[in-house]
Amino acid sequence: MDRIALIGLEFHAYHGFHPEEGKLGARFVVDIEMGLVASKTDDLRDTVDYSAVYSLVRKEVVDKQYQLIDTLANQIADVLLMTQPRIMELTVRVHKPHAPLPGIIRDVYVEVQRQR
């Protein structure tokens, strides 16, 4: 299986369980790894258009609001699999750097994996 990856997509968004997270927002980082058969032609129609993938991810992260990053990761995976038929395997990671925890932490993330 070949892979295309978009790593480190950063957005300011308003996901979180605590009311202040919905008001102030925070930085979220998304990684997308797609398993597919890489194109042997030079035609965009024979692969996954990662510009379209970026737009779909951005829309889920920025235009919607979830309490849990688990839900956000699952929604991103569902949308990508519905709209990108060439993706055979998919890993979505949603990072919440500096999550509001009572200690020093660099990152918290949820990872979901899907296969057709």
Q: Amino acid identity of 38?
A: A
Q: Among 23, 59, 64, 96, which one carries the catalytic annotation?
A: 96
96 annotated active-site: yes
Q: What are the E-state strand segments in the chain? A: 2-13, 26-36, 89-95, 109-115
Helix intervals (H) in 31-89? 50-63, 69-83
Write the CA distances from 7 to 16, 41, 93, integer angstroms: 22, 24, 9
The strand pair at 109-115 and 2-13 is best described as unpaired
For residues 40 and 33, give the distance between their C-alpha atoms in angstroms, rounded to a whole number: 19
* Active-site amino acid positions: 96
